[in-house]
Amino acid sequence: MNLFFLFLSYIIIAYMLLSSLSYIALFLLAFRKVYRESELDPRETTEDLAGNERTFPVSILVPAYNEEVGVVSTVRSLLALEYPEKEIVVIDDGSKDQTSARMIEEFQMTEIPFAVRTYLKTADIKGIYQSSIFPYIRLIKKENGGKADALNAGINLSSYPYFCAIDGDSILENDALLKTMKPIIESDGQIIVTGGSVRIANGSTISRSKVELINLPTNPIVIMQIIEYFRAFLIGRLALSRLNILLIVSGAFGVFHKERVIRAGGYNVKTVGEDMELVVRLHRLLREEKSKQRIEYIPDPVCWTEAPESLDVLRSQRIRWQRGLFETLWTHKKMIFNPSYGSVGLLSMPYFLFVELLGAVFELCGYFIIAGGFFFSLIDPKVAGILFLVTIFYGSLISALAVLLEELTLHKYPKVSHLVRLYGWALTETFWYRPFMIIWRVQGIIAAFRKKQHWGDMKRKGIST
Amino acid sequence: MTLYFFLALIMLLFLFQLVLLLYLTRRKKERQRYEEEIEQQYIHLTEPFSSYIMDPSDVRFLYAIRTISHKEVVLERLLNGYVAFTKGANISPLVKQLSEEFLTDLYSQILNQRNWAKRINALHYIEDFHMLSLSPMLLKKIIETHKLDAETQQLVRTLASLNETRVIAELQRFPAVPSRLYVDIFGRLQKESASKEIETALKGTDAALKHAALVFIGQSGALSFLPFVEQELENQQVETRIQALKTIFRLEYLSDPDLIEPFFESSHWTERMFAARIAGILQLSRYKKTLSTLLGDSVWWVRYSAAEAYTRFSDGDMLLAHLSENHPDRYGRDMAAQWRTYRSGGART
């Protein structure tokens, strides 16, 4: 029995060391581009597009479920977006609160007949409304069908060749769309999806739907999520994007080529990880068609979102994310280790399987063996000690490194105290935050087998004043 | 032994991070101090600068700028702010003069540095400030380059903004030049030079260049090129014909309405769609009946454009009301009903 645990310990140690090395390798891949572009004058790089008539018009889709607190400020922030031509489509997915009423009242909306193209099948549409003050703001009231279904309804109604999917509680920076559309425009259609970096808004001052002052929140749960974002975005996504094997474009903000998405069948309503599933499906189609089109991620923070402040809500969010990841990998299991899908099948899918999905299982076993080794002689305490050190390295030191690398490249948090606090909190990750995450991520895998679908039930305070 | 190895490794990594943290903390403090100094000098010079731009006889600014430690950075920000505020509409000769005097050497150095971001920024500023003296240096750079990357593309735009027409010939050395880059050039050249280059492009055989010329004519409303555009309606290439239709739609003018008649029955839906749009925007009453046929087209976009075209006519509301009840095609009726109340168009900023 002890031999089994000893063997398991070695596997976990090897796993954690290899995963850590993969993180560092991924960062090194992304570092040059991020560092190179960090000194660019942001206004100069987008100013040409802002006044350019050839900048493709974009439909902004805002799926909303019980978003009465945030939906109006989100739409207001979208109105302020600097972009030559856009339309805003809010999709009320059968909310039980006053989401639609708030929209109708605030933007003086009236019901209109509309010949919707049903490219994608959705739950029944109850009505389509148009604002009389801003005719390019529309609202779809529909039966509840989930976020993916709401986005599909928005795609059906949208008029433009590109759509931008954002969460109902997101606040976009003024030049967010320009920055995100830039790679698409400059690639002459070779880039079909771009994802923008999402930042946590808690703690920062947002007034009139604009981020006025970037600050750190005081709640440690939120600080840890900021660190997590650094780790995921800076270390993971940028490098995967450079290799054209990025599998996640955050549901909080992404721009998609509409026709491509329609050809792929739209968002999958049967999964809670509809954003990732769609991107994987697009990759799959691109590879099957031997297309050279790309999916790209931009490092600049363009979208601000409210992070959960309580463990309860965070738990439900993480279970949902992990379940979505599992479902996506399961749906596209054919691609894993399949050379026909190139680097997506050979590198990216295995990375998400072993690091992002099964990582939690390995880590949970690791924590169990550490406790068993120290307190119940399950394994040699020396081996438990090594495992403990490696866990600290994998959990805390890599996150702390992510904080330092953010400062080295993007340095978006303005004060020295921000840097020191972020670094200090990152070091504590292994001892309290990570165990929670691991347990919830394992619960997410279990939830995937149960298949109960629902929107996230986050209680929003609203992030804009 | 192994435990100590890992302990030492973790400690070493931790120490490395601490050193990095210290370095970054120091760097952050230094940057903050640097930014504060610049901000102070910027605020100090804002009033004299505005005054100088409004009235060049008030030379307080010229004395003050020479006395500050970060004169290039502060001047760059002041000029940049001014150009952004005026949206570069009329580049003041003072902007050119100040930038030529204080920033030429700096930008010459930067353009030969290894820092890519600084080079790109400098190219943007040279364009914004119309620094003609750097034109020969930039031209030399483009002649020597062999890769059409982001930097070369900006180099092309900057040169065009300095009215350097040779960039078009230089650009044609590269394979598959995106049409948008040529449009950017036409938009930046001075009017006379642009007209000459557009005429050459329309007479030439380079499809990307010709498409760019058509796009630019539509964007700038250059009606003098209408005969050339109408001629392209007979081009053998579908893409060129579609581009010519788009341009006519944007120009909102056509010398002979008969020219678009064949396009209502085109086998390419994009041509049918643009024909419908043109009939609407030019209020060509003779095509009202044809639009009714297109309202029952198999392609959604053609139906959409046909119905939209009706809204341009004075009796459009009445026609749409009639068609929403009586059009033989169900989709046509739905589309007509939608356009009775629907207002199209996105937010144009």
The pLDDT tens digits for B147-165 are 999 999 999 999 999 999 9
Nearest chain B residue to A416 by CA distance is B25
Taking residues A338-367, what's their average pLDDT?
93
Examine the domain organization and report whether A376 and A431 are in the same domain. yes
In this complex, do A392 and B10 lie within 8 Å of one another by their Cβ atoms? yes
Flag whether A463 is in a domain: no
Is the CB of residue B237 less than 8 Å from the CB of residue B207?
A: yes
What is the rounded distance in angstroms from the CA atom of residue A142 to the CA atom of residue A93? Answer: 5
Share of chain A above pLDDT 90, in %: 56
What is the rounded distance in angstroms from the CA atom of residue B202 to the CA atom of residue A460? Answer: 58
Is the CB of residue B141 less than 8 Å from the CB of residue B111?
A: yes
SS3 A201: coil
Q: Which of residues 233-292 of B touch A (CB under 8 A)?
A: none
What is the rounded distance in angstroms from the CA atom of residue A218 to the CA atom of residue A229? Answer: 17
Q: Chain B within 8 Å of A123 (Cβ-Cβ)? A: no
Question: What are phi and psi for residue A88, nearest 5 degrees?
Answer: -120, 125
Cβ-Cβ contacts under 8 Å, A114 against chain B: 338, 342
In this complex, do B157 and A84 lie within 8 Å of one another by their Cβ atoms? no
Task: Name the residue among B7, B24, B215 with its Cβ closest to that of A408.
Answer: B24
Residue type, B221: G
Task: Name the residue among B6, B120, B347 with its Cβ closest to that of A86.
Answer: B347
Taking residues B247-257, what's their average pLDDT?
95
Query: Quick one: pLDDT at residue B240?
Result: 95
Is the Cα torsion angle B329, B330, B336, B342 positive or negative in sign? negative
How many angstroms separate the CA of residue B236 from the nearest CA in chain A?
24
Taking residues A291-316, what's their average pLDDT?
88
Flag whether A186 is in a domain: yes
Q: Which of residues 34-93 of B touch A (CB under 8 A)?
A: 80, 84, 87
In the 3-class helix/strand/coil scheme, how is A410-421 assigned residue by residue? CCCCCCHHHHHH
What is the rounded distance in angstroms from the CA atom of residue A281 to the CA atom of residue A299? Answer: 23
Examine the domain organization and report whether A203 and A264 are in the same domain. yes
Cβ-Cβ contacts under 8 Å, A389 against chain B: 3, 6-7, 9-10
Furthest-apart CA atoms within chain B: distance in Å:
94
In this complex, do A54 and B215 lie within 8 Å of one another by their Cβ atoms? yes
In this complex, do B118 and A38 lie within 8 Å of one another by their Cβ atoms? no
In this complex, do B345 and A86 lie within 8 Å of one another by their Cβ atoms? no
Examine the domain organization and report whether A84 and A130 are in the same domain. yes
Residue B98 in this model has a pLDDT that exceeds 70: yes
DSSP B160-223: HHTT-THHHHHHTTSSS--HHHHHHHHHHS-HHHHHHHHHHHHHS--HHHHHHHHHHHHHHT-G
Closest CA to B6 of A232, A340, A298, A386: A386
Residue B16 in this model has a pLDDT that exceeds 90: yes
Is the CB of residue A461 less than 8 Å from the CB of residue A306?
A: yes
Taking residues B266-285, what's their average pLDDT?
96
Query: Quick one: pLDDT at residue A36?
Result: 81
Q: Which of A337, A358, A378 is the last residue of a domain?
A: A337
**Which pLDDT band holds residue A209 (cuts at 50, 70, 90)?**
low
**Pairing label, strands A162-166, A253-257:** antiparallel
Examine the domain organization and report whether A280 and A407 are in the same domain. no
Closest CA to A123 of A96, A87, A148, A158: A148
pLDDT in tens, B297-332: 999 889 999 999 999 999 999 999 999 999 999 989
pLDDT in tens, A116-168: 778 999 999 999 999 999 999 999 999 999 999 999 999 999 988 899 998 87
Residue type, B281: I
What is the rounded distance in angstroms from the CA atom of residue B253 to the CA atom of residue A382? Answer: 85
Examine the domain organization and report whether A313 and A406 are in the same domain. no
Taking residues B64-69, what's their average pLDDT?
92
Residue type, A143: E
Q: A88, A138, A389: which to substitute to probe chain B, counting the most B Cβ within 10 Å?
A: A389
Range of lowest pLDDT (A412-421, B88-97, B193-202):
B88-97
DSSP A211-253: EEE----S-HHHHHHHHHHIIIIIIIIHHHHHTT------TTE
Question: Containing domain of residue A441, as a range?
Answer: 2-26+350-450
What is the rounded distance in angstroms from the CA atom of residue A185 to the CA atom of residue A48? Answer: 12
Residue A286 in this model has a pLDDT that exceeds 80: yes
Q: B2, B3, B129: which to substitute to probe chain A, counting the most A Cβ within 10 Å?
A: B3
Query: Quick one: pLDDT at residue A54?
Result: 67
* Long-range CB contacts for residues B94-97, cutoff 8 Å, separation at least 24: B94/B52, B94/B53, B94/B56, B95/B53, B95/B129, B95/B130, B96/B129, B96/B130, B96/B131, B96/B132
Total domains present in chain A: 2
Flag whether A465 is in a domain: no
In this complex, do B303 and A37 lie within 8 Å of one another by their Cβ atoms? no
What is the rounded distance in angstroms from the CA atom of residue B14 to the CA atom of residue B1? Answer: 20
Residue A110 tokens, joined: 């009236």
Residue A34 in this model has a pLDDT that exceeds 50: yes
Q: Which of A306, A337, A368 is the last residue of a domain?
A: A337
Task: For residue A124, give the DSSP letter.
Answer: P
Query: What's the distance, Cα to Cα, between the start and end of chain B in Å?
Result: 68
Residue B79 tokens, joined: 């000029």
Residue A393 tokens, joined: 């390295």
In this complex, do A39 and B349 lie within 8 Å of one another by their Cβ atoms? no
Query: Quick one: pLDDT at residue A465?
Result: 42
What is the rounded distance in angstroms from the CA atom of residue A26 to the CA atom of residue A306? Answer: 27
Question: What are phi and psi for residue B25, nearest 5 degrees?
Answer: -65, -45
What is the rounded distance in angstroms from the CA atom of residue A413 to the CA atom of residue A148? Answer: 34
What is the rounded distance in angstroms from the CA atom of residue B185 to the CA atom of residue B189? Answer: 6
Examine the domain organization and report whether A233 and A191 are in the same domain. yes
Query: Quick one: pLDDT at residue A265?
Result: 95
Higher pLDDT, B231 or A210: B231
**Which pLDDT band holds residue A85 (cuts at 50, 70, 90)?**
confident
Q: Tell me the sheet residues that pair with A63.
A: A91
CB pairs < 8 Å spanning A and B? 129
Q: Chain B within 8 Å of A160 (Cβ-Cβ)? A: yes
What is the rounded distance in angstroms from the CA atom of residue A211 to the CA atom of residue A127? Answer: 34
Q: Which of residues 193-222 of A touch B (CB under 8 A)?
A: none
Residue A279: which residues within 8 A CB-CB, separation 6 or more?
A: A193, A246, A247, A248, A249, A295
What is the rounded distance in angstroms from the CA atom of residue B185 to the CA atom of residue A408? Answer: 37
Residue A95 in this model has a pLDDT that exceeds 60: yes
Mean pLDDT across chain A:
88
**Which pLDDT band holds residue A328 (cuts at 50, 70, 90)?**
very high
What is the rounded distance in angstroms from the CA atom of residue A445 to the CA atom of residue A440? Answer: 9
Taking residues A375-395, what's their average pLDDT?
89
pLDDT in tens, B100-133: 999 999 999 999 999 999 999 999 999 999 999 9
Q: Tell me which residue has tokens 């080529």.
A: A257
Nearest chain A residue to B303 by CA distance is A115
What is the rounded distance in angstroms from the CA atom of residue A238 to the CA atom of residue A325? Answer: 19
**Which pLDDT band holds residue B349 (cuts at 50, 70, 90)?**
very low
Query: Quick one: pLDDT at residue A456?
Result: 53
What is the rounded distance in angstroms from the CA atom of residue B112 to the CA atom of residue B136? Answer: 14
Is the CB of residue A153 less than 8 Å from the CB of residue A283?
A: no
pTM of the predicted protein model? 0.84
Cβ-Cβ contacts under 8 Å, A36 against chain B: 116-117
Flag whether A302 is in a domain: yes
Is the CB of residue A288 less than 8 Å from the CB of residue A226?
A: no
Query: Quick one: pLDDT at residue A167?
Result: 81
In this complex, do B121 and A389 lie within 8 Å of one another by their Cβ atoms? no
In this complex, do B347 and A185 lie within 8 Å of one another by their Cβ atoms? no
Residue B218 tokens, joined: 């539509």
Residue B7 tokens, joined: 């302990």
Q: Chain A within 8 Å of B183 (Cβ-Cβ)? A: yes
What is the rounded distance in angstroms from the CA atom of residue A300 to the CA atom of residue A196? Answer: 7
Residue B217 tokens, joined: 């004519």
Q: Categorise residue B204: left if φ over 0, alpha if ψ from -120 to 50, beta otherwise.
A: beta
Q: B21, B39, B114, B188: which to substitute to probe chain A, counting the most A Cβ within 10 Å?
A: B21
Q: How many CB atoms lie within 10 A of CB A240?
A: 24
Residue B113 tokens, joined: 């540095």
Q: Which of A284, A313, A337 is the last residue of a domain?
A: A337
In this complex, do A390 and B340 lie within 8 Å of one another by their Cβ atoms? no
Q: A37, A48, A177, A411: which to substitute to probe chain B, counting the most B Cβ within 10 Å?
A: A48
Share of chain B above pLDDT 90, in %: 85
CA distances to A90, A141, B42 from A167, rounded to whole Å, are: 10, 17, 39
Examine the domain organization and report whether A239 and A141 are in the same domain. yes
How many angstroms separate the CA of residue B94 from the nearest CA in chain A?
21
Query: Quick one: pLDDT at residue A452?
Result: 58
In this complex, do B184 and A48 lie within 8 Å of one another by their Cβ atoms? yes
Residue B59 tokens, joined: 């030379």
Examine the domain organization and report whether A14 and A57 are in the same domain. no
Closest CA to A89 of A64, A53, A117: A64
Task: For residue A168, give the DSSP letter.
Answer: T
Q: Chain A within 8 Å of B20 (Cβ-Cβ)? A: yes
Share of chain A above pLDDT 70, in %: 95
- Residues B204-220 as b/e (b if ≥16 CB within 10 A, e otherwise) read eebebbbbbbbbbbbbb
Q: What is the ipTM of this complex?
A: 0.85
CATH superfamily of B256-342: Leucine-rich Repeat Variant (1.25.10.10)
In this complex, do B347 and A79 lie within 8 Å of one another by their Cβ atoms? yes
Is the CB of residue B313 less than 8 Å from the CB of residue B288?
A: yes
What is the rounded distance in angstroms from the CA atom of residue A231 to the CA atom of residue A196? Answer: 15
Closest CA to A455 of A116, A99, A110, A63: A63
Range of lowest pLDDT (A69-78, A327-336, B204-213):
A69-78
Q: Chain B within 8 Å of A113 (Cβ-Cβ)? A: yes
